[in-house]
Structure 1
């Protein structure tokens, strides 16, 4: 028989043997089921435990530690219409994706509602919730939302909350102003209980203790409530079957949220907290290639017995395989020569279709067919956004990697063929560089008059969604974003390149909340000197970075509403009145470092100075932010000519500064 046919037969026999072996050992290769237990305990939040607590508890919004009470307090001061969160900093496994079972957990905590001295009991209100949320940086809305959620993420934000509410909001279905509610993915409670029936008044000023117990196997939820320093009450305020699995990711964050309303305020204090969870998982048994030979079988008799018990079924499978092999042999005998010729031709053709492999992290050229397949034929459902010059799609490559594909309009290059050539050159130049704070260019497609750029996909979206839509970003996150973008621009400028499109929608957030600068503007102008063009564009990058800093600190967009000052005008006006601190986003509450925020704001204003009047380069900006260099004093009043480039240069028209667009 032909050698190739013998090889084919050998592969079949080998594959069959492997399949039988894996099938017979399937049960032994599945690891044992184990319980993963997590326990945390905070007896109090006193100053002596402050270092430990600060490492383990993340305070957001108006939440703070009260050294007087040794408790976490929401809000920190007598603030109206404010919200805050206290979140355990590490995620907790609360759902097993294999068995689709939620974890079992129990938690107990002592809490106190207190009314300010200048308000009466009837006019005070607010609420506190024990929450299970998917992240540790979102702050929900104040008022009746209790800091649990906000309207921007209500439809997609997984949350489980047990609320202790001292205000009645009929629009949310509250039974009265003294109730416990169970919230599942919604601000409207799934079930509410009037705790007055149990002799409890939440806002009477006393310290209460809550016990929340959940059995993931039976889906039983129990809530107990009573005075502090007592044993578990004999009767639960709520007991019922609730499936939490639709509202859980595998890993979630646990903690507390609270809020106050308009013209109403109340102090909510968490004085102690214990939590224990138990989730099920399976251990993975090491493979035979690694260390199976080192594993000692303690019961050889049972092992041999299992092998003998599987012999009959394996024998029948072997007979079936033998019949299959004989059939294949007969087929190969009658069609051997034709099959050999066909296989020989195939071997000659396949290598010609394969591309030469390149370095895994280097940008490469894509074919138009591959791009079309990744975007499902540039389907409408794949569109992420569009503007006057391009349409952006989400795509998936054949290897499973998610990418962002930006397809430029053909009409955009119709005026000058040199524009397209210059852009192609710059795309390839930027595709060669790699930096932790720059979105990698995975490749490009310049085919059949198509101009397409392929980026890595960043799952957490762009900064503008976090600043203006997903709740309130804490100051620590905002400061990190500013430094990350500054590092990215400094590195880009050091390579004689420029970004030319610095704005919140071009800054993306990865899963570790690192800011990554992407969506490059590229060169779209027939400039005679590319080096001169890049130099001028770098100065515009610095200007745009200054505006970005103002947006991050203030939580406002750069464009103004009718009758209001633009953000840059407002910032300079605040500086002239020495009131820059008023520009800091008040939604961040009391956790902001005011001196640090003002210093960063001054760096942002410095970036908007005229180039010959003190505008720094990005290397200097990084040194300012890292405290490696003293920040120079700003002029006492706004410069006469703030914008150094006229609209005729194509670089800056107003402070929107859209270069080469």
Structure 2
């Protein structure tokens, strides 16, 4: 007789198939059982053969065997199998005197190797799971699932890298859903429970201009956040460094309005106030229809409507932070509006908030827009790649809105509700003729002497930025 014993570790299924010696392996097994063998495996195990007799004397002989882990065992060559021993023969079969000991030693060696492999694999996919996380079970991914989805976080699946980790593309093996996985290094801290609770709360956000957060995974020294995959990548790659593909003004204006709508939802329309704390072009992703979606909620903070946000560590990206946030560490909807300013001007001008290289190195973008406005030609600040096919009123509106939202007093900045109304043309845009500058930044105040004012503005603007940068470098991102 021939006997096949097979175990599928993925589906936890054991199949036993039996056939006469000269018959091919049947398609249907004799016995099929669903059972998980993982709990049975020990660190050290011995594998062998056993048999028993009944009331009539019998002999049980193993003429050959083939063993294989993680694959199909090699078929036996029946013509090379030894013959059955003689019944009542005088000498013992060589199979029993030589074959069985050799087979036993080999089998023990394979068993030990298999156990070592299983232990190493278990450690490789070990996760950090505490009792309090069970309530978030539906949104907690298995590390093994994400490992398979990203092909082991291979470099070819890397989408981008940032200050807080790397982002990989993946495909979930079960649902075939495309995802983006962000790996963030972290140290165990007392507030991890609260942090995960907030992440799960943010996972309930649903808006057409937000990248959905699907869940998370914790393993050893890292935290993994799982998002929907956006096929057209981040907006910044269409703006800087001589992009191979650019967006026309209609596409850019649609992205601006979309991100504004998403921020308005976060600030006023959801059950809690959500402060994103890291609004910038690189965190705006484009879906298949080039709709702008605000993503990367790893720094977001929540608080109840009508309450004051708590002071936190200064986090975010230098050049996008409001001055009051650098001083107090308190992130509010107004600081998000200030970051939105930098984003607006990035999209309209095709420049970074501060140029770090080239002939314009050190130029502050809001300075450039302000100087163009002072000269009476604010459209000069627009991105040269836009050409002449623009809607001048829309471009001028966006640039002026950037100056309006840069106000040094948080209470004098428009809310995201007002920003959306300006962009949709639902309310008239306010007069900017009294826009001036003090030591703390842009403000609405009468002033005398435009030349002296321009010099004062440039000096104060650089001083304010240096303060923000030095604060961030000492205690934040």
TM-score by length of 2: 0.57
State the match for 1:409 in structure 2: 185
Given that 1:524 and 1:660 are in contact with CA atoms closer than 8 Å, whether structure 2 keeps it comes out as no
More strand by share: 1
* Aligned equivalent of 1:227: none
- 1:106-185 equivalence runs, <5 A: none
Q: Secondary structure at the match of 2:170?
A: strand
Give the counterpart of 2:33 among 320, 343, 350.
343
Paired position in structure 1 for 2:335:
540
1:437 aligns with 2:212: no
Where 2:332 maps in the other structure, the secondary structure is helix
Say if 2:373 is the partner of 1:575.
yes
> In the alignment, is the contact (CA less than 8 A) between 1:427 and 1:522 conserved in 2?
no
Q: How far did 1:326 drift?
A: 12
| Aligned equivalent of 2:248 | 474
The answer to whether 1:387 aligns with 2:162 is yes
| Bigger Rg, structure 1 or 2 | 2
Determine if the alignment matches structure 1 residue 456 to structure 2 residue 228: yes
Q: Tell me how far apart the structure 2 counterparts of residues 436 and 640 of structure 1 sit (CA, whole Å).
A: 40
Q: Deviation per CA, 1:31-57: give whole Å up to 9, x if none.
A: xxxxxxxxxxxxxxxxxxxxxxxxxxx
User: 1:606 Cα deviation (Å)?
Assistant: 1.2
1:603 counterpart SS class = helix
How far apart are 1:382 and its partner, in Å?
2.0
2:285 aligned residue (485, 491, 508): 508
CA contact (8 A) 1:405 1:453 kept: yes
Q: Which SS does the other structure have where 2:435 is aligned?
A: coil
Which of 625, 650, 656 does residue 423 from structure 2 map onto? 625
From 470, 475, 499, the counterpart of 2:276: 499
Q: Measure the CA separation in 2 of the matches of 1:619 and 1:400.
A: 38
Q: Is the 8 A contact 2:436 2:442 kept in 1?
A: no
Q: CA deviation at 1:480?
A: 0.8
**Which secondary structure does the structure 2 equivalent of 1:408 belong to?**
strand
What secondary structure, in the 3-state scheme, does the structure 2 residue paired with 1:404 have?
strand
The superposition leaves residues 47-76 of structure 1 with CA deviations (integer Å, 9 ceiling, x where unpaired) of xxxxxxxxxxxxxxxxxxxxxxxxxxxxxx
In structure 1, the residue matched to 2:387 is 589
Per the alignment, residue 176 of structure 2 pairs with 400
Match of residue 465 from structure 1: 237
Instruction: Give the 5 Å matches for 1:50-129.
Output: none
Task: Give the drift of 1:626.
Answer: 0.7
Matching of residue 599 in structure 1 with residue 397 in structure 2: yes
Scaled by the length of structure 1, the TM-score of the pair is 0.42
Q: Spell out the pairing of 1:347-386 with structure 2 (5 A cutoff).
A: 364-386=139-161
Distance in 2, matches of 1:345 and 1:505, equals: 48
Q: Distance in 2 between matches of 1:515 and 1:585?
A: 19
RMSD: 3.4
- Secondary structure of 2:426's counterpart equals coil
2:370 paired with 1:555: no
Distance of aligned partners of 1:346 and 1:453 in 2 relative to their CA distance in 1, 3 Å threshold? closer
SS, match of residue 536 in structure 1: coil
Quick check: 1:367–1:447 contact (8 Å CA) kept in 2?
no
Q: Report what 1:517 is aligned to.
A: 294
**Is residue 164–residue 185 contact of structure 2 (8 Å, CA) maintained in 1?**
yes
Aligned to 2:441: 642
- Give CA-to-partner distance per residue, 1:292-316, whole Å, 9 cap, x none: xxxxxxxxxxxxxxxxxxxxxxxxx
- Describe the SS at the equivalent of 1:470: coil
Distance 2:25 2:300 in 1: 66
1:319-334 equivalence runs, <5 A: 332=30
Q: Which ranges of structure 2 fall in alignment gaps of 5 or more residues?
A: 1-22, 40-136, 313-329, 444-466
Q: 2:80 is matched with which residue?
A: none
- Structure 1, residues 570-595: CA drift from partner, whole Å, max 9, x if none? 11222223221111223322221212
Of 488, 491, 497 in structure 1, the residue corresponding to residue 262 of structure 2 is: 488
Q: Quote the Cα distance in structure 1 between the aligned partners of 2:177 and 2:161.
A: 22
Moved over 3 A (4+): 324-329, 344-347, 418-422, 529-535, 561-564, 654-661
C-alpha distance after superposition, 1:294-352 (max 9, x if no partner): xxxxxxxxxxxxxxxxxxxxxxxxxxxxxx999678x74xxxxxx2xx526579x9xxx
Q: Structure 2 vs 1, CA of residues 328 and 481 (structure 1 numbering), >3 Å: closer, same or farther? A: closer
The answer to whether the 8 A contact 1:460-1:509 is kept is yes
Q: 1:655: Cα distance to partner? A: 12
- Tell me if the contact between 2:286 and 2:293 (Cα under 8 Å) persists in the aligned partners: yes
Residues 423 and 611 (structure 1), Cα distance of their counterparts in 2 relative to 1, 3 Å cut: farther
Q: Give yes or no for contact 1:438–1:518 (8 Å, CA) kept in 2.
A: yes
**Residue 402 of structure 1, CA deviation:** 1.5
Larger RCO, structures 1/2 (Cα 8 Å, 6+ apart) = 1
- Alpha carbons 2:309, 2:332 under 8 Å: kept: no
